[in-house]
Structure 1
Amino acid sequence: MGFGSYDESEQRQQDVGDDEEETAVNVHEHDHDGEMTTETGSSTDELLGQLQEIKEQTDEE
């Protein structure tokens, strides 16, 4: 066996039911076409400074 033994009964086809329609997820149900923009009014350096402050605060806790 090489990597260890296993119970062959666990390897048989298990009945998981046929309720796929009930548990299926439609990933396109809420798709939207459009565009999103944000205006921060801050420069990249300012935003990086804010990020650094947040990181320092979490390190102190």
Structure 2
Amino acid sequence: MYLHFVWVNWDKLPLVTSDVQEVIYTALVSQCDQLKCKVVAIGGVAAHVYLLTDFPPALTVFE
């Protein structure tokens, strides 16, 4: 199952700057590794972060 996650801040302010972008992406990839999810794509813009994962069938969406 593929899941597409989108994170947006409340006012859609450009808070995802280049200095924090790598920290955010690293944290997301690390969490996916722990859950045994395969990161298909990760990216975004200054107000959004996108993550597409191949979600393993043994894991529920609510974990």
TM-score by length of 2: 0.31
Question: Which protein has greater RCO, CA pairs closer than 8 Å, 6+ apart?
Answer: 2
Say which one has the larger Rg.
Answer: 1
Structure with a larger share of its residues in strand: 2
Greater helix share, structure number: 1
